[in-house]
A and B are shown apart, each in its own frame.
Chain A
C-alpha cells in the first residue's frame, strides 16, 4: 500500500490530505491533523472566571464564539440570567467575528477556487493576481475584513482574544461615538455586500456547479430560534433530508452525540453519521427563512442544482454577513446600549454541569464543563464545528478521489481537487486541533 501525504494549502491552520493507494486504486482519502493541543486536559482544575480568556486562545478566528460559549456554560453553572444589554453586545461581537472570518475565507481561500472551477481563470489566482483581476471586488472584500475587525475592537477591546467578554456580563462603557462609528461600519458593510452579492450572482448563478461538490444525503445540525436565524440562543435542531425535524434543549445533546474518552472526534448516536454537516449551509436549511426581503430575492437567483452543493456555502456566507450587518444596525439602535449596567454576581454554584451552545461562523460550538463535589472543574468537553464536519468531508473527498483517479490516473489532479472540496467547507484547523 502506498501512502501519499500532501499539506493542505490555503486553509486556516495546518492539515494534511492522506491518500492511500492499493493496487493502483485509491482506497481511502483522509483530511487529518497531527497536532492536538489538549485544551480539554489542561483546563481541568482552572478557575471558572479564568476559563473564557484561555479558551479564546483555541482559535484566532472564532475567539469571540469560544469565549461566549464558555461564558454561557459558566452562567449555566451559576444559574444566572444575564442582561439583555449583555446579550446584544455579545451578538455584536459575534457579528464582527463572523464578518471578518467569512470575508477572509472568501477572499483568500474560496474565491480563487470558484474562479478556477467555473473557468474564469486558468489557474488559482494569488491575492496579488486577484487584486489585478478585479480591483473593486478585492477592495470591497478587504474593507469587510477591516469592518469585522473594527467592530471587535470597538466592543471587545482588541482585534482578537477580546477583553470585554466575562461570565455574568460584559465590560462596557456606553459611548455615543462608538455606537455611531459602529453604525457607519455596518452600513458600509451592507453597501459592500450588496455589490459583492450581485457580483457573485452575475458571475456564477447561470452556471451549474460541478457534481463532485454535490452532497445527496445530509443531516443538518444547528441552532434555531423558532426556525429563525439566531446564532446566540435557541434550541439545537437536527434535520434529515428536509424532514424528520428534531428539536431539543441544549442539555439533552448527549442523547444524539457525545465524546468518548480520548476526546478526538465526535460520536453520533444515530445512523448515517457520515452525512452530518454544520455551518452556514446547515443554518440555511434548518431555518424557515432569514426574515429579510432582500435575502429572499437574492436566493431566487439560484436553482436547485446549487442548493445541495457545498459550493453554495460560499453564497450563504455572503448572505450571512449581510444579515449580521443588518441586525447589527438594529442592535445599535437599542436604547439599552446607552446605560451602564451592573454585573450579575456569581454567588454560588447551582449546577455541577454547565453547557454553553452557540453557532460559531463555521457551525455549532458546544462547551460542556463538569464540576466535582468541591466545585472544581474535573471534566471538559468541547464540540467544535469542524469536528462535526470531518466525517462528511472525508466521505466526499474519498468518493470523488476514487472516481477522478479511475478516469484520469492523475494523482496530482486528485490532490488539487480534493483540497478544493475541503476549502469549500471552510475548515478551522486551529479549533479542530484544540
Chain B
C-alpha cells in the first residue's frame, strides 16, 4: 500500500514547493506515494485521512490554525518543510505580522529545514518518509566541518562590525582562508545546524542561519553567542540580524 501524502502551504514564498518539484527524486516520490492533497498540482478540496502531511510556510493568520489542526487530526505524521514552517522564516523581519512555526500550534514529527531546504537533505528525507523512517538531521553546528574554521577559537570576545562583506572583499572558497568572525564579519555558523553543504560560505558569504538552530530555539542559542561577541553600535541598532528567520521567543 502506497503511503497517502498531503502537502499544504501556509504563508510562504512557495520556494520549498518549487524545490520539491525540481528534485531529482520527485518522479520517484510521485510513484512511491499517493498524493491526495497538494493545491499546487491537484484540484482536491478537502483534507482527508493521510499517512504523511508536509506543511510549508509559517502561521501568520488565524484561519491557518484551524487548517493546521484539521491536518493534524487527519495525519499519522506531520512534518514542517522549510525554515518558515520550522522556525517562522523571513516574515520574522516584520514587526507587525505574526510568523509562527507550526510547532507552536500542533505536535510535529520532524522538520526539513533550510531556505530552501538543501536538495540532498530534502531528497534523502523524502525517501525516509516514504520508507516510514524518521528524518535524520545533523546534530552539529556549522563550524564542525567548516573549511574556514582552522585556528579560530570562539572563546573570547570577538569584535563584529559587518553583516556582509563589501562586494570587492568577497573571496571564493579556494582563496579564502580565514573565518569571517576573525575579520569582524558576523557569521551565524556557530549557532546554526550543519547540513547545507556550506553553499554560502563556499561563495564567500557568511552563514545567515537559514537552517535554524541545532537544538532548542534561536533565542536560547543567541544568548550564549551574544555573550561572546561585541557588536558595533551600528549593528546593535540594526533590526533583523539574529531574528531573520525566527521571532524572539519570550514565554510568560
Residues of A at under 8 Å CB distance from B? 7, 9-14, 34-35, 37-38, 41-42, 45-47, 49-50, 53-54, 57-61, 63, 100, 104, 108-109, 124, 126-128, 131, 142, 145-146, 148-149, 153, 157-161, 163-164, 166-169, 171, 173, 342-346, 430
Q: Which of A42, A127, A128 has the most CB of B within 10 A?
A: A42
Interface segment among B72-80, B86-94, B100-108, B130-138: the answer is B86-94
Query: A46: shortest Cβ distance to chain B, in Å?
Result: 7
B195 within 8 A of A: no
B6-32: which have CB < 8 Å to A?
A: 9, 11-19, 21-22, 24, 26-27, 30
B residues in contact with A9, CB < 8 Å: 39, 42-45
B residues in contact with A46, CB < 8 Å: 240
A9 vs B38: C-alpha distance in the bound complex, in angstroms?
9
Query: A115: shortest Cβ distance to chain B, in Å?
Result: 14
Residues of B at under 8 Å CB distance from A? 9, 11-19, 21-22, 24, 26-27, 30, 39-45, 60-61, 63, 89-91, 93-97, 115-116, 118-119, 163-164, 166-168, 170, 172, 174, 199-200, 202-205, 208, 238-240
Give which listed residue, B13, B97, B168, contacts A58 with CB less than 8 A: B13
* Contact A37 B39, CB 8 Å, known A60-B19, A430-B14: no
A7 engages B45 (CB within 8 Å):
yes
A63 vs B238: C-alpha distance in the bound complex, in angstroms?
24
Q: Which of B41, B63, B240 has the most CB of A within 10 A?
A: B41
Query: A198: shortest Cβ distance to chain B, in Å?
Result: 23
A-B pairs under 8 A by CB, number: 154
A45 engages B21 (CB within 8 Å):
no
A13 engages B163 (CB within 8 Å):
no
Q: From B197, which residue of chain A is reached at the shortest CB distance?
A: A158
Dominant secondary structure of chain A at its interface with chain B: loop
A residues in contact with B97, CB < 8 Å: 37-38
Query: A225: shortest Cβ distance to chain B, in Å?
Result: 26
* Contact A12 B40, CB 8 Å, known A7-B45, A41-B94, A61-B18: yes
A142 engages B27 (CB within 8 Å):
yes
* Contact A57 B96, CB 8 Å, known A49-B164, A158-B118, A164-B203: no
Q: From B175, which residue of chain A is reached at the shortest CB distance?
A: A173
Give which listed residue, A41, A160, A346, A430, contacts B166 with CB less than 8 A: A346
A35 engages B163 (CB within 8 Å):
no
B residues in contact with A53, CB < 8 Å: 208
A34 vs B61: C-alpha distance in the bound complex, in angstroms?
9
* Contact A60 B40, CB 8 Å, known A46-B240, A166-B170: no
A residues in contact with B93, CB < 8 Å: 42, 54
A104 engages B21 (CB within 8 Å):
yes
A146 engages B22 (CB within 8 Å):
yes
A266 vs B163: C-alpha distance in the bound complex, in angstroms?
34
Give which listed residue, B9, B15, B41, contacts A57 with CB less than 8 A: B15
A344 vs B170: C-alpha distance in the bound complex, in angstroms?
12
A127 engages B30 (CB within 8 Å):
yes
B96 engages A38 (CB within 8 Å):
yes
A9 vs B208: C-alpha distance in the bound complex, in angstroms?
34
14 contacts between A and B (CB under 8 A): A9-B39, A9-B43, A11-B39, A14-B39, A38-B96, A47-B163, A57-B13, A59-B14, A63-B13, A157-B199, A159-B19, A166-B170, A171-B172, A171-B203
* Contact A161 B15, CB 8 Å, known A9-B45, A46-B240: yes
A49 vs B44: C-alpha distance in the bound complex, in angstroms?
42
Query: B179: shortest Cβ distance to chain A, in Å?
Result: 19
A9 vs B40: C-alpha distance in the bound complex, in angstroms?
7
